[in-house]
Each structure stands twice: as structure tokens, then as C-alpha cells.
């Protein structure tokens, strides 16, 4: 197992290098430079040139890439010029916000999605299945940012059950209860689509398994239906559900961008959007590489979990 | 049946958990008295006046810092602030300021002539030990400054390399706000997160992506402000900002989207409006193609239904522009100018005279950007108006920074017209940078449509060095008449900035400068 993990880790290196090159090139090639973005109306060629020099952007492309890569390997992600603070401080702080939001959403959509899928499969074509299918399709069809806005309008503006936006109250204790009240709406809005997808795929994975011989055997030897479904069938179905969860984790992470904007959540997605608009090159590059690294690590973890469940996968 | 039992139980458990989380938390607490919560449009970049360029940052800075001079309440005219008075030599090249005595920065260090010198040296002198705390993108506002000297503790003298009339209003701009030298020495490049000025509010804390908190400065030279504290919250999404305002999470909201204004019509809210030094226009390519003919440029001005754009597209959040200078510069504005009326027949006549019926136009439109209002909808309306009189208009849309990269180098060989908007602090800035012959893009200016009229050039050069305000105003008025006739642009709109306060807030008004001044505001 240790060898397998090591092998996967080593294979992640070229992936991350490739990502660093791609994001660097994209930032270098998109029209508009940071100086123009900062100066706005006042971006005369003269002012732009001077500011780019001050920002260290007048060096050749290749040289700039290797300076950036070299610094990053030593843990120095550079300084965000638009926020005037170290990139890594901002990214870590924001990633913490995203992790809380996306993590909660991921837990919600995994539990609800798998549970709904299992119930659907167990009662195929029954009332529960039809009801769940209906709700799930509705959930998949609603864009999350629209759902988020509607939730704000209903539960925050009209009913005043939850705050509209932010992660912490401006005044008052910054305790767990405050976090939960701020987290509930965005986490649910973000979880909706992924819940639907996971429910659909769990349902078909379960149906597949329920048709197999060992289930019939289990039933024949008198295992109770509850045990058949949750212990025998689900465990076998998990092998195909887990990769789906891994992919959905990526969707939740990227879907967080919209939700963070709608709910003014201090996360890394909103940070990246702002950074792209202001052409904050180092912040975009550092943020993307960091998020990509986390995503790669998460996928390795998923693969490891899958191989633990199904020893045949270990190669 | 066991299975349904289980799901029902799970369902009940999760419902209970949710209800618990609902009940346990008082959702939206009432915001405290005497603390104003302001909904800003974005996280500030830095709280260092020399280092920032965005109106969003200026809204905080103007309450924490003072400059030598400032704009008089409700106008764009300069009045004393940290300088009590000043003299200008006859050539208009030496400005001597007498400073207010007994003022201290929030960090306790004294405000004096040396502090003023430090601020400008830091920005302008590349050898200054703290020049590396920049970059200072708007330092060129003071590029005419040759030297700054402290004559004694309370007298400071600026020597300019040539007469430069906008100097005083540039000093009133946030770039001219004065920072405590001690705070720069202590914090270096991080001074933007640890600001110390002399203003009515003192910086308390900056919680990243959450809030900037400032509290009253009881020792301010004008007396303590009416509020105990102000919290600036960045809420980038306009719909979310509106929802926070409706829910009572913020007391003051700036830049209300036009479509949301109707939400605030009832009791409980006050909508504030103020025209500012903003003009929204179309740059016309006067060098080549159909717009090289002045009649075609005038035809475009007649063809566009400006009233419909400001009333229907912008929901009344702007007024029709008459010429290149916004009316907010009251002292320099030519009241006699009437906007080009909406007259499609006249436009068709002019087109026929010029033989330009059916002329094909490429029109650059941006998706959004500073001061651009609702550029896509406005561009589409303009396209329809122009097509109605016989133009054939193709729109090309670009993201803002890309758009600037296309437009600023000039439209030649690419497009016939482009949207543009400017907000400035002096009537000199926009025409000087965007209408003079020497401001063509190849010479480093913003005259992307290659307009050229020697008479206008002369007027602008003369106004820039004229220190007598009445004479300066006369020159600008004359310039506006000529430019309107020459129609290098289609003059479309002057934006009215808006804000909403709830009924707990008193004493608030917007300024034509677009700054947010909170020292007279109270909240119960």
C-alpha cells in the first residue's frame, strides 16, 4: 500500500508542473496587464511601462516563470500587488473559508445523495423512488447561484432565520453557533446539484449490485432486508460510488466560486475571480496551483480509499 | 417496512438537527447604535492613499486621512483643510502653504511641514528611503512638482516646473492625503494595512474579506464626528448588497443597481442621488472611415436617443450629457450648451449630405468596467438607434481590461467607435488627456479617436497654466462649445451616483466628488 501511495504521489509531480506552466502562460497571454488594470483610465503607455517595471513584470517570460517556480519551491508564493500582502497568507486564509463551505457541502451531498440513491434503488419504481427522482431532477436543474439568491430572499430577507451573507457576524460572538447560522444557506445551496448527481449514480450502482447472485444468496439465507441493502449491497456499490464522490468533490470545489460570490463567503473561489479581474498575476497563479495541488491530493486519497475497498484495483 | 422505518428515523433526526441549528441562533441581530455599517462594493486594496486608485478605497480613506486642502461640501471647489491658507506666486509655479497647528496623527506623532515633505518625497523621489513602499500609480498627478521644502515647522513650499492650474484640486484628491511618516517607518510596505492619518476616524482593525473598522477620533481639529464607529463591509455582488440592506445587516449601501432602486421606495429607506464628475461617451474614429466627416459624427449625435438610455436602460440613474465636461464642475461648465436633441430625421439628412448612407461601422463595447454603467445594454440601444437612421453597425464585445488594451492604443484600422467613461477631479484632466492633438495614442495620450482642432489645443494649454479661476472657467466654456460642434464623441450620459440609508441614519449626503464623507452622520 505504501508503495502504491508513493507511486501516486510521484505521478502527481508532472501534473502540478504542467498546471503551473499552463496557468503561468494563460496569465501571460490574456490581454490586459496588471498595470492597465491598476491605472484604469490613467493607463498611458508611459505610466503602464513604469508601473510594470515597479512590479517586476518587464523581465522575459521564461525568466519570470523560473523565478516564480524557484521561489514557490522554497515556499515563497510572492506578494499580491492588489491586496498588498503575501499570496500564501491570503490563499491559506481563503482556503480555510472554502474548506469549511465546500467540506460541509461535500458531507451533506455525500450523505444525502447516497442515502437517497439507496432508498430509491431499494424501492425501485415505488412512491419513494418517484418522489426522490423528482426532487433530485429539480435539484440538478436549478443553477446553484439562482437557488442561493432565492434562499437569501426567502430565509434571510423575509423570514430572517439566517443572515444574508458573510461567514461571521460583524458584531457578537464568533462561536460555532454563529458559524452554523452563516454556513447553513450557502452549504445547502452548494450541495444541491451534487446531491442530485450522487443520488442518481448511487441508485444505478445499487440497482446493479442488487441484481447479483450474492444478494440473492444473502436473502435466501435469511439476512434481513435492511442488512442486505445497507451492509451487503451498499458496501459492494461503494466501489463505484466513491469515484463519483471524488469527481463531485471537484464540482463542489468549483461550484463554490458562484456560491462564494452570492453569499459573500470569504473563500478562495471569489478571491480568484477578483484576482483575475485585477490581473493580480501572482495571486491567480499561486491560488490555482494551491487549489490544484489540493484537488490532486484529494483524488489520490479517493483512489487509495477505493483500493482499500476493492483490492483488485491495486496496480 | 424496516427500511422505511429507518429512512423516516433518519429524516426525523436530520430535521431535528436542522431545527436545532435554526432555533439556537438569533439570525440577524440588530446593528448597534452610533455604529454605521457601510456596504462597500469590494474589499479595499490598501489603506495607503498614495498607493491606491479605486473609488471604493477612497470611500474609507477620506474618513481616516486629511489632505492640505479638500473639496468644499457639495462642490468640486477647493477649500483649506490641514493647510489654513496658501499663496501662489505670480508665475503660478510656487505654492506656499501655512499649516494648521496642534494637529497630531492617530499614532501620536505630530503633523508638521516635515511630515508633508516626507509624504511627497516618498511618492515622487525614487531615492527616498521609503519609495519602495509603493508602487504609487497616481504619482503623476504631482509630476509637475519639482521640489517640496519645509520653510519652518508650519510652512511648506511646493515648486512646480511649470504653471499647472489643476495642482490644488489634485491635492484635494485622495492621492494628496497625508500619511503619518512614523507609520510608514514602522510598518514599511504594510502601512496599507496599518494606516494612521489625522482624519475624523481612526483605524481600528481590518478583518480580511470581512470588514474594515474605524472609530471616532475625538481630537479631530474639526471636533469629534457624530458616530462612534464605522464598519465598512465588502459585498461584491450587487444583489447580495441589496438583500443585506433589506434585511438590516447594513445601514448604508453605495452603488445601488438601477433595477433595485424600486425596492427602497417605501418608508424605512432614503435614496440619495448626486451627479458627479463623470461622463459616458462614444469615441468616434475621426481619422478614417465615415466618422472622418464631421457631418456623420453630428448625425450619430442626433441619432442616439439619450433620453431613452438614461430613463429606460439606466432607470433614471444618469442625466443626458451635453458636452465633454460634466455639469458637476459647476464653475467651469458651460450652462448654455444644450444636448444634441434626438432627431433621427436630421441625422438622415446629414448622412445624405455626406453621402454616408448605409455606412458600415465597427462598434467596440465592453462587458463592464469602472464608470461604464450598463455598457452592453447601452451599446445595444445605441446600435439600434444608429441602424434606424441608416448605419450598419457591428458590435464587438470585450472584457474590460482587454477592451482598454484595444481602445487605448487607438481605433485606427480596427473600429469606428468605442464606448468610454471617465471620472475625474478637475475639468482639465479628461479633455487634456483625450481631446488634444498631442494626446493621440502614439504620443502617450488617450485621444483614441484622433480628434484634432488647433483652437481646442490652444484653449486647453492656456487653461492649464491659468491660475485665475474665472479666466480658466472662460477658456473651458469656450472649449466645450467648439468640441460639441466638432462632435469627436457622441455625448451620452452623466452618471448620478446613488446610495441608500435606512431610517436610523441621519445627516448623510453624497458628494459630487463621489467620496463618502461620514463625519456629520449620526445613527440611533
Considering the domain boundaries, does residue B461 fall inside one?
yes
* Residue B256 counted as domain residue: no
Whole-number pLDDT of residue B233: 93
Same domain, B432 and B315: yes
Question: Which residue is it, cell 462564494?
Answer: A260
Give B3's contacts (C-beta < 8 A, 6+ positions apart): A119, A122, A123, A225, A226, A229
Q: What is the pLDDT of residue A33?
A: 76
Q: Is the Cβ pair B208, A152 closer than 8 Å?
A: no
Q: Are residues B84 and B162 in the same domain?
A: yes
pLDDT at B26 over 80: no
How many beta carbons lie within 10 A of that of residue A116, not counting itself?
26
Q: Are residues B47 and B106 part of one domain?
A: no
Q: Is residue B460 part of a domain?
A: yes
Cβ–Cβ < 8 Å for B273, B312: no
- Quick one: pLDDT at residue A298? 85
Grid look-up 424501492 returns: A123
Residue in the structure block whose three cell numbers are 452549504: A187
Cis peptide before B117 (omega within 30 of 0): no
- What is the residue extent of each domain of chain A? 88-314
**Residue A56 CB coordination number (10 Å):** 13
For A261, half-sphere exposure in the C-beta direction (CA atoms, 13 angstrom radius) is: 17
B431: domain CATH number is 3.10.105.10
Taking an 8 Å cut-off on Cβ atoms, the answer to whether A41 and B446 are in contact is yes
Q: Which of B104-108, B139-143, B220-224, B301-305 has the lowest mean pLDDT?
A: B139-143
Pick A161's closest partner by Cβ from B27, B236, B445: B27
Q: Answer whether B495's CB lies under 8 Å from B318's CB.
A: yes
**pLDDT reported for residue B28:** 47
CATH number, domain of B131, equals 3.90.76.10
Residue B4: what pLDDT? 41
Q: Give residue B303's domain range.
A: 278-495
The verdict on B83 and B145 lying in the same domain is: yes
Question: Mutate which of A45, A88, A164 to test chain B, going by most B C-beta atoms within 10 A?
Answer: A164
- The answer to whether B243 and B265 have CB atoms below 8 angstroms apart is no
pLDDT of residue A169: 87
For residue B285, the model assigns a pLDDT of 97
Burial class (CB in 10 A: 0-12, 13-18, 19+), B308: middle
Q: What is the pLDDT of residue B375?
A: 93
pLDDT score, position B23? 44
The 3-class SS string of B461-477 reads: HHHHHCCCHHHHHHHHH
Q: Do B135 and A55 touch (CB under 8 A)?
A: yes
> Distance of alpha carbon A297 from its chain centroid, rounded?
13
Number of domains in chain B: 3
- Tell me whether B399 touches chain A (CB under 8 Å): yes
How high does pLDDT run on average in chain A?
Answer: 87
Decide if B210 and A166 are in contact by the 8 Å CB cutoff: yes
Q: Which helix (H) or strand (E) holds B86?
A: strand B83-88
Nearest CA in chain B to A278: B401
Sorted by sequence, the CB contacts under 8 Å of residue B404 that are 6+ apart come out as A32, A36, A40, A43, B369
Torsion sign across C-alpha atoms B259, B261, B267, B269: positive
B160 within some domain: yes
Chosen CATH of A88-314 out of 1.20.210.10, 1.10.3720.10, 1.10.1750.10, 3.40.50.1000:
1.10.3720.10
State the Cα–Cα distance between residues A196 and A209, nearest whole angstrom: 20
Indicate the length of chain A as a whole number. 315
**pLDDT value at B293 more than 90:** yes
Q: What is the pTM of this model?
A: 0.83
Contacts of B401 in chain A (CB under 8 A): 31-33, 36-37, 277, 279
In a shared domain, residues B21 and B96:
no
User: Pick the residue with more confidence: A40 or A210?
Assistant: A210
Task: List all residues of chain A from 18 to 77 with a beta carbon under 8 Å from chain B.
Answer: 30-33, 35-47, 51, 54-55
Residues B509 and B402 in one domain: no
The answer to the question of residue B391 being in a domain is yes
Q: Is the pLDDT of residue A236 over 80?
A: yes
Q: Kindly indicate the confidence band of residue A40, based on its pLDDT and cuts at 50, 70 and 90.
A: low
Candidates A115, A123, A162; nearest CB to B10: A115
Taking the C-alpha atoms of residue B411 and residue B413, their distance in angstroms, rounded to an integer, is 6
DSSP 8-state symbol, B154: T
Residues of chain A positioned with their CB less than 8 A from the CB of B193: 84-85
Any CB–CB contact under 8 A between A224 and chain B?
yes
Q: Looking at chain A, which residue has its C-alpha nearest residue B31?
A: A171
A93–B46 C-beta distance less than 8 A: no
Query: pLDDT at residue A84 above 80?
Result: no
CB atoms A264 and B192 under 8 Å: no
The reply to whether B243 and B326 lie within a common domain is: no
Counting residues of chain B whose pLDDT is more than 90, the rounded percentage is 72
Whether B397 and B485 map to the same domain: the answer is: yes
C-alpha cell at B401: 481590461
Mean pLDDT to the nearest integer, B6-34: 53
| Average pLDDT for B201-210 | 90
DSSP code of residue A162: S
Decide if B235 and A261 are in contact by the 8 Å CB cutoff.
no
Q: What is the dihedral of CA B371, B373, B375, B378, to 10 degrees?
A: -130
Shared-domain flag, residues B182 and B313: no
What's the whole-number mean pLDDT along residues B485-489? 96
- How far is the C-alpha of B36 from the C-alpha of B250, rounded, in Å? 8
- DSSP track, B266-297: STTEEEEEEE-SEEEEEEE--SSSGGGSHHHH
**Chain-centroid distance, C-alpha B26:** 39
Contact B192 A162 (CB under 8 A): no
pLDDT interval class at B401 (50, 70, 90): confident
Do B299 and B156 belong together in one domain? no
All residues of chain A having their beta carbon less than 8 Å from the beta carbon of residue B422 are: 41
Q: Which stretch of A114-118, A294-298, B36-40, B413-417 has the lowest confidence by average pLDDT?
A: A294-298
Helix residue ranges, H only, A30-126: 34-39, 45-54, 61-73, 87-122
Q: Name the residue among A37, A171, A262 with its Cβ closest to that of B240.
A: A262
Residues B6 and B120 in one domain: no
Question: CB under 8 Å to A106, separation ≥6 — which residues?
Answer: A191, A194, A245, A248, A249, A252
- Does residue A151 contact residue A189 with C-beta atoms inside 8 Å? yes
Go through B167-176 and write b for each residue having 16 or more CB atoms within 10 A of its CB, e for each that does not. Answer: bbbbbbbbbb
**Interfacial B residues in 413-432 facing A (CB < 8 Å):** 422-424
Residue B22, pLDDT above cutoff 60: no
Does the distance separating the beta carbons of A170 and B240 come in below 8 Å? no
* Closest by Cα among A93, A74, A19 to A297: A19
Q: Please give, rounded to a whole number of angstroms, the shortest distance from the CA of A189 to a CA of chain B.
A: 15
Q: How does the average pLDDT of chain B come out, rounded?
A: 90
pLDDT tens figures, A166-195: 998 887 778 899 999 999 999 999 999 899
d(C-alpha A312, C-alpha B334), whole Å: 84
**Domain's final residue, options B193, B218, B240:** B193
Host H or E run for residue A5? helix A2-29
- Cβ separation of B137 and A156 shorter than 8 Å? no
B19 pLDDT higher than 70: no
Mutate to test the interface with A, among B38, B247, B426 (most CBs of A within 10 A): B247
Are the Cβ atoms of B401 and A90 closer than 8 angstroms?
no
Q: Which member of B2, B35, B210 has the closest CB to residue A266?
A: B210
Radius of gyration (C-alpha) of chain B in whole angstroms: 26
C-alpha cell at B208: 480580511
C-alpha span between A205 and A229 (Å, rounded): 12
| Residue of chain A with shortest Cα separation from B424 | A41
Write down the pLDDT at residue A314. Answer: 57
| pLDDT computed for residue B29 by the predictor | 52
B179 and B72 fall within a common domain: yes
Please tell me what DSSP assigns to residue A1. Answer: -
Q: Which three cell numbers stand for residue B100?
A: 494648521
Q: What is the pLDDT of residue B25?
A: 42
Which A residues 256-315 touch B at CB under 8 Å? Answer: 261-264, 266, 270-271, 274, 277, 279
| Residue A99 Cα distances to A271, A294, B86, B122, B452, angstroms | 14, 10, 56, 41, 57
C-alpha cell at A194: 451534487
pLDDT of A41 reads 65
Q: Would you say B3 and A226 are in contact if contact means Cβ atoms under 8 Å apart? A: yes
Helix A281-309 / helix A268-277 crossing angle, nearest 10 deg: 150
pLDDT 10s digits, A251-292: 888 888 889 999 999 889 888 988 888 788 889 999 999 988
From B29, B45, B140, residue closest to A169, measured CB to CB: B29
- The 10s digit of each residue's pLDDT in B412-470 is 999 999 999 998 888 998 999 899 999 998 887 889 999 999 999 999 999 999 888 89
Looking up residue B240, the CATH number of its domain turns out to be 3.40.190.10
Q: Is residue B209 part of a domain?
A: yes
Strands (DSSP E) found in B208-359: 211-216, 229-234, 252-254, 269-275, 278-284, 318-320
Furthest-apart CA atoms within chain B: distance in Å: 99
Residue B85, helix vs strand vs coil: strand
Is residue B359 one of the residues assigned to a domain?
yes
CA torsion B174→B177→B182→B185, rounded to 10°? 40
Closest Cα in chain B to A146: B239
Amino acid at each position: 500500500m505504501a508503495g502504491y501511495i508513493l507511486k501516486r504521489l510521484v505521478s502527481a509531480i508532472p501534473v502540478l508542473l504542467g498546471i503551473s506552466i499552463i496557468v503561468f502562460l494563460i496569465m501571460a497571454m490574456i490581454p490586459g496587464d496588471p498595470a492597465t488594470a491598476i491605472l484604469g483610465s490613467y493607463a498611458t503607455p508611459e505610466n503602464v511601462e513604469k508601473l510594470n517595471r515597479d512590479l517586476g513584470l518587464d523581465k522575459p517570460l521564461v525568466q519570470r516563470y523560473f523565478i516564480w517556480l524557484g521561489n514557490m519551491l522554497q515556499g515563497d508564493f510572492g506578494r499580491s500587488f492588489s491586496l498588498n500582502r503575501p499570496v500564501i497568507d491570503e490563499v491559506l486564509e481563503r482556503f480555510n473559508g472554502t474548506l469549511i463551505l465546500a467540506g460541509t457541502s461535500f458531507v451533506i451531498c455525500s450523505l444525502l445523495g447516497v442515502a437517497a440513491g439507496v432508498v430509491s434503488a431499494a424501492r425501485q419504481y415505488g412512491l419513494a423512488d418517484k418522489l426522490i427522482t423528482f426532487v433530485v431532477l429539480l435539484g440538478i436543474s436549478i443553477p446553484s447561484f439562482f437557488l442561493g439568491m432565492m434562499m437569501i430572499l426567502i430565509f434571510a430577507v423575509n423570514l430572517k432565520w439566517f443572515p444574508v451573507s458573510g461567514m461571521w457576524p460583524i458584531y457578537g460572538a464568533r462561536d460555532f453557533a454563529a458559524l452554523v447560522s452563516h454556513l447553513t444557506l450557502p452549504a445547502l445551496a452548494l450541495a444541491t446539484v451534487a446531491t442530485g448527481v450522487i443520488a442518481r449514480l448511487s441508485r444505478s450502482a445499487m440497482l446493479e449490485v442488487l441484481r447479483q447472485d450474492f444478494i440473492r444468496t444473502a436473502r435466501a439465507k435469511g439476512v434481513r432486508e435492511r442488512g442486505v441493502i445497507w451492509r451487503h449491497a451498499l458496501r459492494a456499490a461503494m466501489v463505484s460510488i466513491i469515484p463519483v464522490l471524488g469527481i463531485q468533490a471537484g464540482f463542489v470545489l468549483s461550484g463554490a466560486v458562484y456560491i462564494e460570490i452570492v453569499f459573500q463567503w470569504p473563500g478562495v473561489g471569489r478571491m480568484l475571480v477578483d484576482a483575475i479581474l485585477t490581473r493580480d498575476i501572482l495571486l491567480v497563479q499561486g491560488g490555482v496551483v494551491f487549489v490544484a495541488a489540493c484537488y490532486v491530493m484529494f483524488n489520490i486519497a479517493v483512489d487509495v480509499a477505493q483500493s482499500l475497498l476493492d483490492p483488485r484495483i491495486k496496480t | 417496512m424496516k427500511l422505511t422505518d429507518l429512512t423516516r428515523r433518519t429524516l426525523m433526526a436530520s430535521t431535528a438537527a436542522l431545527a436545532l441549528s435554526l432555533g439556537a441562533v438569533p439570525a440577524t441581530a440588530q446593528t448597534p447604535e452610533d455604529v454605521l455599517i457601510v456596504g462597500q462594493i469590494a474589499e479595499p486594496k490598501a489603506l495607503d492613499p498614495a498607493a491606491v486608485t479605486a473609488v471604493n478605497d477612497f470611500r474609507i480613506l477620506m474618513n481616516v486621512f486629511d489632505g492640505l486642502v479638500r473639496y468644499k461640501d457639495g462642490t468640486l471647489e477647493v477649500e483649506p483643510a490641514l493647510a489654513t491658507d496658501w499663496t501662489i506666486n505670480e508665475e503660478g509655479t510656487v505654492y506656499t502653504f501655512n499649516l494648521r497647528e496642534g494637529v497630531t496623527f492617530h499614532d501620536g506623532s505630530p503633523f508638521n511641514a516635515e511630515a508633508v515633505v516626507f509624504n511627497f518625497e516618498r511618492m515622487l523621489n525614487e531615492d527616498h528611503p521609503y519609495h519602495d513602499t509603493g508602487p504609487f500609480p497616481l504619482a503623476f498627478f504631482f509630476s509637475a512638482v519639482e521640489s517640496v521644502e519645509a520653510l519652518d515647522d508650519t510652512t511648506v513650499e511646493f515648486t512646480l516646473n511649470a504653471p499647472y492650474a489643476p495642482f490644488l484640486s489634485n491635492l484635494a484628491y485622495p492621492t494628496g492625503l497625508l500619511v503619518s511618516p512614523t507609520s510608514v517607518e514602522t510598518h514599511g510596505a504594510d502601512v496599507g494595512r496599518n494606516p494612521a492619518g489625522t482624519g475624523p476616524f481612526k483605524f481600528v482593525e481590518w478583518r480580511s474579506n470581512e470588514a474594515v473598522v474605524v472609530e471616532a477620533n475625538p481630537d479631530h481639529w474639526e471636533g469629534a464626528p457624530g458616530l462612534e464607529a464605522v464598519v465598512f463591509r465588502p459585498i461584491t455582488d450587487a444583489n447580495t448588497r441589496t438583500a443585506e440592506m433589506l434585511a438590516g445587516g447594513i445601514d448604508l449601501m453605495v452603488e445601488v443597481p438601477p433595477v433595485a432602486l424600486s425596492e427602497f421606495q417605501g418608508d424605512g429607506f432614503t435614496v440619495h442621488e448626486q451627479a458627479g464628475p463623470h461622463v459616458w461617451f462614444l469615441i468616434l474614429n475621426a481619422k478614417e472611415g465615415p466618422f472622418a466627416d464631421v457631418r456623420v459624427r453630428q448625425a450619430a449625435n442626433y441619432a442616439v436617443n439619450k433620453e431613452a438610455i438614461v430613463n429606460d436602460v439606466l432607470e433614471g440613474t444618469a442625466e443626458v450629457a451635453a458636452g465633454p465636461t460634466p455639469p458637476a464642475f459647476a464653475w467651469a461648465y458651460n450652462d448654455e450648451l444644450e444636448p444634441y436633441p434626438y432627431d433621427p430625421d436630421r441625422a438622415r439628412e446629414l448622412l445624405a449630405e455626406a453621402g454616408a448612407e448605409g455606412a458600415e461601422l465597427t462598434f467596440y463595447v465592453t462587458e463592464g468596467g469602472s464608470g461604464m454603467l450598463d455598457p452592453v445594454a447601452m451599446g445595444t440601444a445605441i446600435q439600434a438607434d444608429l441602424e434606424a437612421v441608416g448605419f450598419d453597425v457591428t458590435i464587438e464585445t470585450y472584457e474590460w481590461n482587454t477592451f482598454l488594451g484595444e481602445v487605448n492604443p487607438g481605433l485606427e484600422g480596427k473600429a469606428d467607435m468605442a464606448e468610454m467613461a471617465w471620472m475625474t477631479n478637475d475639468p482639465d484632466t479628461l479633455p487634456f488627456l483625450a481631446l488634444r492633438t498631442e494626446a493621440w495614442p502614439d504620443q502617450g495620450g488617450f485621444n483614441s479617436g484622433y480628434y484634432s482642432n488647433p483652437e481646442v489645443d490652444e484653449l486647453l494649454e492656456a487653461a492649464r497654466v491659468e491660475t485665475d479661476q474665472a479666466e480658466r472657467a472662460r477658456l473651458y466654456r469656450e472649449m466645450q462649445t467648439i468640441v460639441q460642434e466638432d462632435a469627436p464623441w457622441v455625448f451620452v450620459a452623466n452618471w448620478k451616483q446613488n446610495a441608500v440609508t435606512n431610517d436610523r441614519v441621519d445627516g448623510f449626503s453624497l458628494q459630487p466628488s463621489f467620496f463618502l464623507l461620514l463625519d456629520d452622520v449620526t445613527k440611533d
